[in-house]
A and B are shown apart, each in its own frame.
Chain A
Amino acid sequence: MPSTVSMTVNGKSVSKEVDDRTLLVQFLREDLHLTGTHVGCDTSQCGSCVVHVNGRSVKACTMLAAQADGASVTSIEGLAAEDGTLHPMQEAFREHHGLQCGFCTPGMIMSAVDLLQNNPSPSEHEVRDWLEGNICRCTGYHNIVKAVLSAADEMRGAAKAAE
């Protein structure tokens, strides 16, 4: 059965008729052509599809599009500023070589941003623990962890400067 879902995606209002079984990740990729959010598994294990729904990280293959009706969704495409200025987490991944093939990267970055929203000063252990739901096959996580810790420093510094 098709029904209409409406939500705000990366700051823009969208409204589309979708099949009831459409997952949020399918809605983003196929209906909105936002292909930065990836699908790497079918059991909600790999985390390639992580987006933010109402500010919290969610595996977009675990949620129906209809469940996000009325929500505010941010995908990797909406993370950088309007003028293209990268989010500190995006910068940190590039600076610390926290990616290789790049496929898990959008989900990894979205998860990491949510971690810092909850815990601005995570320890290495806490970073590793938080990223348990995101699989990377290329980097061995070494540089991802480095990138997240560095972004945390950067963002705390920026927050302090803004005070």
Chain B
Amino acid sequence: MAPDGIGTALRRKEDKRFITGNGHYTDDLNRQGQAHAYFLRSPLAHARIRSIKTADAEKADGVVAVFTGKDVQAAGLGGLICGWMVKSKDGSDMKAGAHPALAVDRVRYVGDHVAVVIAETLDQAKDAADLIDVDYEELAPIVATADADAPDAPRVHDEAPDNVCFDWEIGDKAATDGAFEKASHVTRMSLINNRLIPNAIEPRAAVGEFDPGTDSYTLYTTSQNPHVARLVLSAFVGIAPEHKLRVVAPDVGGGFGSKIFIYAEETICVWAAAKVKRPVKWTAERGESFLSDAHGRDHVTEAEMALDADGRILGLRVHTKANLGAYLSTFASAVPTYLYGTLLSGQYAIPAIHCEVRGLYTNTAPVDAYRGAGRPEATYVVERMCERAARDLKMDPAEFRRKNFIQPDAYPYQTPVIMTYDCGDYPRGLQKALENADYANFAKRRSESEARGKLRGVGFSSYIEACGIAPSAAVGSLGAGVGLWESAKIRFNPTGNVTVYTGAHSHGQGHETSFAQLISSYLGVDPANVEVSHGDTAQTPFGMGTYGSRSLAVGGSAIFKAAEKVIEKGKKIAAHLMEASEGDIEFKDGKFTVAGTDNSKTIQEIAFSAYVPHNYPADLEPGLEESAFYDPINFTFPAGTQICEVEIDPDTGVTEIVNFVAVDDFGVIINPMIVEGQVHGGIAQGVGQALLENCVYDTATGQLLTGSYMDYCMPRADNLPSFNIGMIETRNPSNPLGVKGCGEAGAIAAPAAVMNAVTDAIGMEIQMPASPERVWRAIQQNRQAVAAE
């Protein structure tokens, strides 16, 4: 292995520009002659648009143009699409309501896009937007997930009676009913997975440009997958043919899912650039982000677990209502179905599972993938149910899990809900977590807390996730409109340094470092001499971007494949230079050697020769640049156990996390420092959901009540503890790197661990977020109930 290769905690190559203020985020870009866009948004959750008068705005100072939905429609532009077709259990297609970039005759949520003003300055655009006169006929909104399919609920789309987009199922209903018939105990829970706002700290932004000399467009935007953005904007919206549209996502300040999707604002900026013949720039204010970034989660679930007298799980039955918001966002239909229902087996050998999901429209912002996407919702159901079942049966929750785990010799393991787990060791992960959490002495710590008048609880979450999203054949059979492979190109420059082009996209994950470490390990090149290029459709081969912890498992595997090709080509050149037969050339640690001799050439010498091929035979091609596309054979299945210990002050309801242990199996680790950082961030978001964060709409008016950082409680440094992180490794047999993915684990596992701890401490069930007020009220109720007995 070359220095700083796989397994090394190499310091990040990208950090220098970020810590010195030299990053290049989209809002940092300013193009010659640019104008500024400001979007007029609906102040109402649901209304018919009778008329929009723009004449005064058009005459205002500095205004370049004003466009409404009718202008966009007249230009022949298509609407925004959802790329994943889900069928209802009766075989019918999901009911997709039209989603114009600017509303035409109806607005469906507060923040919906009504018009755009383009002006010399942003302030002028805002001032002019105030002069637009929209005549709304207000309609009753529907907001609450649980009530969205009520017969008398206001209808969001004419295409979807009862607001049902799809009524989907997975698993074997008859087998599951049978399991409940023979159960000796049934545990039941009502669970709300609270709606969240992703809140990448960099707000979304876009700069659109048009070059009339070549009829080509460029869009700089905060995207997690620029190639897919180009594909959608070209093939469905109709901005320009793909070869006339370049999409660039420069440094991106966090995504967490919210920057996967194709939004109205970037669509309009790039379209309008040609209309006004100037670059058009838009940057979201945080208030706009709250209103119109795609939100996450928002499930209402009734779940039942059938158990035998020994505490073995016989079956799981789940009914979920999933809020989709007012329009289908790019991935929206996949999240509460194939990314959720397929993970309901968790780490457990459950003989029968049946799950029904109703995807429902409401007058709220679109809901789509947010860190974990479907898997946190599934884990929350499974892990809250397991903990509840263990308590119902008066079993130790660790013992309950151990008894029901899929055993390490059972792989490949086919669950009743599609997935085939390829490897894992759940008992070992649990055991290590128990040790790291000093679980054996918990009772003692609880007594000490009680002596101080505090309530202490402990909660478990033994999660599993399906990462490395693909394989294409699998997602295609499940309704995806695209394949989910990844691409890589390795270019040796004549002086021996390397540029790696990847279709993955980094928005904080450290690809520039970990991908360079792959090149270091495979090709023996110092990471300092490797540059990673991503995020520009004009530079990189077509790629599918970064989400679902797929960058290493899929993108890294594509780099591996490209490296194999580089070595193969290098052997041909080495054989020629050293006058040996190609079959006798071995490659190791950056050197091509003639087997059994000390005759060797470094890969740098080979690269130079490849570009100065003065004496090459006719059949030896110059150049050292290879690309590969990689489509995996399975998802990857990272798994682990998180244990949270809390102490609650019954007088204030404030929950303090006193210990948080995570033991994860991510397969082979490329850079342990980066992996630990990803786990920390994921846990913070999971803890945020469990204790603090909540997106709240007023159910009567549809107004967003948590529309700023004053109202939406973001986790801050003083809300969180330091985390106790541990790892185990089972090498993934399904990809050449042996990796699994780590970015979402914390967000997937932590909510259940925290809520299991909180409910253990207070001795009753409550819903997320366990805010001090909710916890305090629950404690008071409990006290009154005890007093009344």
Whether A35 is near chain B, meaning CB under 8 Å from some CB there, is yes
Tell me whether B201 and A141 are in contact (CB under 8 A).
no
Tell me whether A102 and B18 are in contact (CB under 8 A).
yes
Tell me whether B21 and A106 are in contact (CB under 8 A).
yes
- Tell me, in angstroms, the Cα distance from A134 to B681 when the chains sit together: 15
Tell which of A1-9, A124-132, A154-162 binds the partner. A124-132
User: Within residues 39 to 59 of chain A, which ones have a CB less than 8 A from any CB in chain B?
Assistant: 39-43, 45-46, 48
Tell me whether B201 and A94 are in contact (CB under 8 A).
no
Tell me whether A97 and B12 are in contact (CB under 8 A).
yes
Tell which of B92-100, B383-391, B431-439, B503-511 binds the partner. B503-511
Which residues of chain A are within 8 angstroms of B708 by Cβ–Cβ distance?
41-43, 45
- Among A45, A80, A103, A139, max chain B CB count under 10 A is at A103
Tell which of B154-162, B463-471, B716-724, B730-738 binds the partner. B716-724
Tell me whether B19 and A105 are in contact (CB under 8 A).
yes
Tell me whether B709 and A139 are in contact (CB under 8 A).
no
Tell me whether B680 and A142 are in contact (CB under 8 A).
yes
Known: A35-B28, A137-B200. A97 touches B674 (CB 8 A): yes
User: Within residues 280 to 331 of chain B, which ones have a CB less than 8 A from any CB in chain A?
Assistant: 283, 285-287
Whether B203 is near chain A, meaning CB under 8 Å from some CB there, is yes
Q: B496-507, CB under 8 A of A: which get 1 and which 0?
A: 000000000001
Which residues of chain A are within 8 angstroms of B200 by Cβ–Cβ distance?
101, 103, 137
Name the residue on B nearest A90 (C-beta): B19
Known: A21-B123, A103-B253, A132-B718. A45 touches B508 (CB 8 A): no
Tell me whether B202 and A40 are in contact (CB under 8 A).
yes
A18 smallest CB distance to B (angstroms): 12
Interface size counted on chain B using CB atoms at 8 A: 59
Tell me whether A42 and B18 are in contact (CB under 8 A).
no
Q: B654-682, CB under 8 A of A: which get 1 and which 0?
A: 00000000000000000001101110111
Name the residue on A nearest B29 (C-beta): A35
Q: B679-721, CB under 8 A of A: which get 1 and which 0?
A: 0111111000000000000000000000011100011111010
Name the residue on A nearest B200 (C-beta): A137
CB within 8 A of B683: which of A102, A140, A145?
Answer: A140
Whether A135 is near chain B, meaning CB under 8 Å from some CB there, is yes
- Among B11, B22, B714, B718, max chain A CB count under 10 A is at B718
CB within 8 A of B508: which of A101, A135, A146?
Answer: A101
Name the residue on B nearest A33 (C-beta): B30
Which residues of chain A are within 8 angstroms of B649 by Cβ–Cβ distance?
none
Tell me whether A140 and B723 are in contact (CB under 8 A).
yes
Whether A66 is near chain B, meaning CB under 8 Å from some CB there, is no
Name the residue on B nearest A93 (C-beta): B19
Tell me whether A101 and B680 are in contact (CB under 8 A).
no
Q: A135-155, CB under 8 A of B: which get 1 and which 0?
A: 111111111111000000000
Which residues of chain B are within 8 angstroms of A24 by Cβ–Cβ distance?
none
Which residues of chain A are within 8 angstroms of B25 by Cβ–Cβ distance?
35, 38, 103
Whether B16 is near chain A, meaning CB under 8 Å from some CB there, is yes
CB within 8 A of A109: which of B11, B19, B286, B682?
Answer: B19
Whether A19 is near chain B, meaning CB under 8 Å from some CB there, is yes
Whether B5 is near chain A, meaning CB under 8 Å from some CB there, is no
Which residues of chain A are within 8 angstroms of B483 by Cβ–Cβ distance?
none
Q: B186-203, CB under 8 A of A: which get 1 and which 0?
A: 000000000000011111
- Among B20, B21, B708, max chain A CB count under 10 A is at B21
A85 smallest CB distance to B (angstroms): 11
Which residues of chain A are within 8 angstroms of B254 by Cβ–Cβ distance?
100-101, 103, 137-138
Whether B23 is near chain A, meaning CB under 8 Å from some CB there, is yes
Whether A86 is near chain B, meaning CB under 8 Å from some CB there, is yes
Whether A95 is near chain B, meaning CB under 8 Å from some CB there, is yes
Name the residue on B nearest A127 (C-beta): B717
Known: A77-B20, A93-B19, A137-B256. A143 touches B680 (CB 8 A): yes
Tell me whether B201 and A136 are in contact (CB under 8 A).
yes
CB within 8 A of A95: which of B11, B28, B681, B723?
Answer: B11
Which residues of chain B are within 8 angstroms of A97 by Cβ–Cβ distance?
11-12, 673-674, 676-677
A26 smallest CB distance to B (angstroms): 9
Name the residue on A nearest B684 (C-beta): A140
Which residues of chain B are within 8 angstroms of A142 by Cβ–Cβ distance?
680, 720, 722-723
Known: A39-B27, A140-B680. A131 touches B716 (CB 8 A): yes
- Tell me, in angstroms, the Cα distance from A140 to B239 when the chains sit together: 39
Name the residue on A nearest B710 (C-beta): A43
Name the residue on A nearest B723 (C-beta): A142
Name the residue on B nearest A144 (C-beta): B717
Whether A104 is near chain B, meaning CB under 8 Å from some CB there, is yes
Which residues of chain B are within 8 angstroms of A128 by Cβ–Cβ distance?
717-718, 720
Tell me whether A99 and B19 are in contact (CB under 8 A).
yes
Whether B251 is near chain A, meaning CB under 8 Å from some CB there, is yes
Tell me whether B709 and A46 are in contact (CB under 8 A).
yes
Which residues of chain A are within 8 angstroms of B256 by Cβ–Cβ distance?
137
Tell me whether B510 and A100 are in contact (CB under 8 A).
yes
- Tell me, in angstroms, the Cα distance from A109 to B21 when the chains sit together: 11
Whether B765 is near chain A, meaning CB under 8 Å from some CB there, is no
User: Within residues 59 to 114 of chain A, which ones have a CB less than 8 A from any CB in chain B?
Assistant: 75-77, 79-80, 86, 90, 93-95, 97, 99-106, 109
Whether B133 is near chain A, meaning CB under 8 Å from some CB there, is no
Whether B14 is near chain A, meaning CB under 8 Å from some CB there, is yes
Tell me whether A35 and B199 are in contact (CB under 8 A).
no
Which residues of chain B are within 8 angstroms of A76 by Cβ–Cβ distance?
19-21
Whether B15 is near chain A, meaning CB under 8 Å from some CB there, is yes
- Among A125, A142, A145, max chain B CB count under 10 A is at A142
Which residues of chain A are within 8 angstroms of B253 by Cβ–Cβ distance?
38, 40, 101-104
- Tell me, in angstroms, the Cα distance from A138 to B678 when the chains sit together: 8
Tell me whether B507 and A101 are in contact (CB under 8 A).
yes
- Tell me, in angstroms, the Cα distance from A144 to B709 when the chains sit together: 21
CB within 8 A of B677: which of A21, A90, A143?
Answer: A143
Tell me whether A132 and B673 are in contact (CB under 8 A).
no
Known: A45-B708, A100-B254, A137-B681. A94 touches B19 (CB 8 A): yes
CB within 8 A of A48: which of B201, B674, B683?
Answer: B201
A52 smallest CB distance to B (angstroms): 13
User: Within residues 124 to 170 of chain B, which ones have a CB less than 8 A from any CB in chain A?
Assistant: none
Known: A36-B22, A105-B19. A46 touches B286 (CB 8 A): yes
Given contacts A90-B20, A97-B676, A131-B717, 5 further A-B contacts (CB under 8 A): A35-B21, A101-B253, A102-B14, A103-B23, A128-B720
Sampled A-B contacts (27; CB under 8 Å): A29-B28, A30-B30, A34-B21, A39-B27, A40-B253, A42-B287, A43-B710, A77-B22, A90-B20, A94-B15, A100-B509, A101-B254, A101-B508, A102-B14, A103-B253, A105-B19, A106-B18, A129-B718, A131-B717, A131-B718, A135-B714, A137-B201, A139-B677, A140-B682, A140-B746, A142-B722, A145-B722
- 3 tightest A-B CB contacts, nearest first: A36-B21, A102-B18, A103-B253
